[in-house]
Structure 1
Amino acid sequence: MQLTDVTLREGDQMPGREYTADQKIECVRSLDDLGVPFVQPAFPATGEKDRTVVSELSGTTDAEIVALARALERDIDAAVDAGADVVETFVSVSDRHLEHLLDASREEMLTMLTEAVDYIVDRGGTPHVTLADAFRTDHEDLVEVFDAIPNVPFVTLADSVGARTPATVGSTLDRLGDDVDLSRVGVHFHDDMGCGTANALTAYQAGVAKADVSVASLGERAGNSALEEVVVACAVDLGDDLGIETDELVPVCRNVLDTLGEAYGDRKAILGEEISEHESGIHTAAMLSDPATLEPFDPAAFGGERRLVFGNSTGKDGARKLLERAGIEADDATVSAFKSALAERGPLGLDEAVALATREFRD
């Protein structure tokens, strides 16, 4: 499964945000270094800023630069003229969206879509398609759309309002696979019910070719499937790093967020400072022997850092192992004295705790 990063386009649509062209360009270059194969930073028809972003990046990245466009000639022209590698056009496909958003019949939508795809090709562009509200669209109607655009390499199904869970995503894709080649299928999930990453992983297992992701889930409302969560879950549990430079994942994602001025919590999965910090006496004692005892993965594998904290909560086993690590004979009296010293001087990191033992308890 390949990834399309949509952080910069989705994030820029959040209320109160207005990323600059320079911010977007700097972030794309970081994501490109990370090995993300597709990056969608802009919607050129919205204004000069996004046209500049695409123009400045055109021909300078290994990642394919994807520009979003409605199924309108003026939108497509803006994307092609800016130099986008891929023009991703989108239409609504559910009955509800056709009535209330597009104000068009299904036949009119299909004509609009096929004409847009043809126009992208005529302009020398590479078309991708996103089908809005696809996961609330009847199976037969989805198949009809795929049949209408057989030469489009990727057609992305969007769960536009985050209304689906892994169970329904899996059943939808399994059934679709009977009639459509899933090597053409992409997915785009929103996290309104907290299922964005889980849905992307379900789609991976179903065999889709591509998934949209965003750093720390930045995006409209609750955001999208989190880039860092999808990558780590696939690498750790499924043995597939998705072609990403995993040892740079955490630093790059944090840098993107810092560049955009976006905060993330200390307990944010993968990225938070506290998720690989351990202080419980029982935990730290075990992790001095084998960190995997209480960790799902080595944080260093993704560019993070483990922090063991020693102090008042450190027990006898932890104190003994620290003394042994410092090369000090850990008799009961020394262990008790060192435990008291940790309680008085702590909290201390691992290196600080070992230094304390070396300094005050070595003969």
Structure 2
Amino acid sequence: MILFENVRFLDTTLRDGEQTPGVALTSKDKVDIATKLDELGVDVIEAGSAITSEGERESIRAVVAEGLNAEICSYCRIMKPDVDYALACDVDSIHLVAPVSDLHINVKLKKDREAVRKMAIETTEYAKEHGLIVELSGEDASRADLEFLKSLYIDGVDAGADRLCFCDTVGLLVPEKAELIFKDICSAVKAPVSIHCHDDFGLATSNTIAALRGGAQQAHVTINGIGERAGNTSLEEVVMTIEWLYKHKTGINTKEIFKTSRLVSRLTGIPVAPNKSLTGGNAFTHEAGIHVHGLLADTETYEPIKPEILGRERKIVLGKHAGKSSVTLAVKEMGFDVDDSQLHEILNRVKELGDHGKKVTDADLQTIAETVLSIEREAKVILEEYTVVSGNKVTPTASVKLKVEGQDVVEAGIGDGPVDAAFASIKKGVSGIADVQLEEYHVDAISGGTDALVEVLVKLSKDGKMVTARGSRTDIVMASVEAVLNGINRLI
């Protein structure tokens, strides 16, 4: 067999991923994610567990109704009622999970090995009689007796199972062991075998790659590696490891990976860690001067792959580690023409902000550059007054009086909270000169106590152009308004 030839992907973001504590996806959420997974090109979408509830069944049926290219699957226990519920959702396949370790068989099910074997065979036969594709899965397989596991797999294939799956349910595999186990299993059974890993020790991707090296033909994955406890194997990590490090095509549309990552993060409410490989906010963000200098000469100096491959963009940020190259690039992009002495002064002021723990925003840099160059620029949008009303059983409402290019403008808006309402009213107020979108909003308390100084960082966009800006006040609403107005004036 050729290594990594025709690797398939079963994405379980909508089932195992949704089992992340605190996550509950609506039917529309599931359809939106499933549609994006289909665009990515995954082979199987595990849309949920039909036995869970009527609401879950409605969501699975909604995904099925989309008529996607991917095979739509439901998780099932080795019980006929589970299969009946899956059939009622009109799925293509079931992920039929049989506990296989003695710990799970004896303690969880309170049965013995032969009882589990009988249940697995009978349920497999029942599902096949009703026209389903069956992937028979061994739960807690990494703690199971390997000879028992292989015999169960062989009996499952004889009963009609189309695929098999080895589940490292609590993440106890190590890569060298995973490869040996899969070489053994794949030589003993006459059906494709999948690998399903959890990331309890941070080895899910490594173990998945090792299992594929050992002969596994399908990887179970989730977007951003979400899932129970420490999560599941990350789709993006496995795909890019195979494509970029092993130089084998996977059939996945990698340019949609970042968009899919952000969609899943937004709908699940699980933020992607800044230092997450490939999809984290910092994965293609550079600050250190020596790195930026190298990047300007050749991006390969400090990037393993081009961000565009994942549908991303490179970012260069400024702070205490900034160097001459990054500041030169940034001020040129702003349209400033500076000499060496002016550049040196701008760099010193940027580093001074960084030394105080500040993130240097676009608006900060513009102010610094204009000060050094003695440029006086009158703000086009000035806040004259604002009022916010918010409380129990009161729709948060804000009104603002702005001076927009010398004209008085009064607007009001509502929102999910006082900050949202304030932004809505400002957005209305400047609509005559700019359609501004709030892309990101972040707040930090700089000091302790109820009168803490808060710093608000915002990212705003207009016609494809983005800027970052800050506001610092003891009043979070005022700090937010200040940050938004700083950003708007920078944009226009």
Q: Flag whether TM exceeds 0.5 (same fold).
A: yes
Contact 1:249–1:303 (CA<8 Å) still a contact in 2?
yes
State the number of aligned residues. 351
- Per-residue deviation at 1:153? 2.0
- Per-residue deviation at 1:53? 1.7
Given the alignment of the two structures, is residue 187 of structure 1 paired with residue 195 of structure 2, yes or no? yes
- Higher mean C-alpha displacement, 14-23 vs 112-121: 14-23
- What is the aligned counterpart of 2:252 among 232, 240, 244? 244
Change (3 A) 1:245 1:342: same
- Per-residue deviation at 1:310? 4.7
Contact 1:80–1:87 (CA<8 Å) still a contact in 2?
no
- What is the aligned counterpart of 1:13 among 10, 19, 34? 19
Bigger Cα Rg: 2
Change (3 A) 1:241 1:99: same
The one-letter amino acid paired with 2:308 is A
The one-letter amino acid paired with 1:36 is V
1:3 is aligned to: 9
1:178 counterpart SS class: helix
1:271 is aligned to: 279
Cα RMSD over matched residues?
A: 2.8
- Higher mean C-alpha displacement, 308-317 vs 142-151: 308-317
- 1:97-152 deviation line (CA, Å, top 9, x unaligned): 11111222211111111110110011121111111011122221122012102242
- 1:292-338 deviation line (CA, Å, top 9, x unaligned): 11111111110111112356644456678889999x999xxx44542
Name the CA distance, whole Å, in 2 between partners of 1:209 and 1:311: 46
- What is the aligned counterpart of 1:106 among 87, 104, 113? 113
Within-5 A mapping of 1:24-173: 24-58=30-64, 60-150=67-157, 151-173=160-182
State the TM-score, normalizing by the size of structure 2.
0.66
2:196 counterpart SS class: strand
Contact 1:165–1:195 (CA<8 Å) still a contact in 2?
yes
For structure 1, the residue ranges without an aligned partner over 5 or more in a row are none
Name the CA distance, whole Å, in 2 between partners of 1:324 and 1:49: 55
- Higher mean C-alpha displacement, 11-20 vs 132-141: 11-20
Within-5 A mapping of 1:282-293: 282-293=290-301
Q: Taking every aligned residue pair, what percent have the same amino acid on both sides? A: 29
The one-letter amino acid paired with 1:258 is R
- 1:60-87 deviation line (CA, Å, top 9, x unaligned): 1111111011111111000011101101
- 1:247-294 deviation line (CA, Å, top 9, x unaligned): 111111111221222222222222221121111111100110111111
Name the CA distance, whole Å, in 2 between partners of 1:102 and 1:138: 17
For structure 2, the residue ranges without an aligned partner over 5 or more in a row are 1-6, 352-359, 374-492
2:346 is aligned to: 341
Contact 1:228–1:270 (CA<8 Å) still a contact in 2?
yes
Name the CA distance, whole Å, in 2 between partners of 1:321 and 1:267: 24
Change (3 A) 1:312 1:19: closer
Name the CA distance, whole Å, in 2 between partners of 1:222 and 1:199: 15
Question: Which structure has more helix as a fraction of its residues?
Answer: 1
- What is the aligned counterpart of 1:221 among 211, 215, 229? 229
2:407 is aligned to: none
2:132 counterpart SS class: coil
1:44 counterpart SS class: coil
Question: Which structure has more strand as a fraction of its residues?
Answer: 2
Query: Which of 1 and 2 has higher RCO (CA within 8 Å, sep 6+)?
Result: 1
Name the CA distance, whole Å, in 1 between partners of 2:361 and 2:305: 23
Contact 2:46–2:75 (CA<8 Å) still a contact in 1?
yes
Name the CA distance, whole Å, in 2 between partners of 1:320 and 1:215: 37
State the TM-score, normalizing by the size of structure 1.
0.88
Given the alignment of the two structures, is residue 200 of structure 1 paired with residue 208 of structure 2, yes or no? yes
The one-letter amino acid paired with 2:343 is F
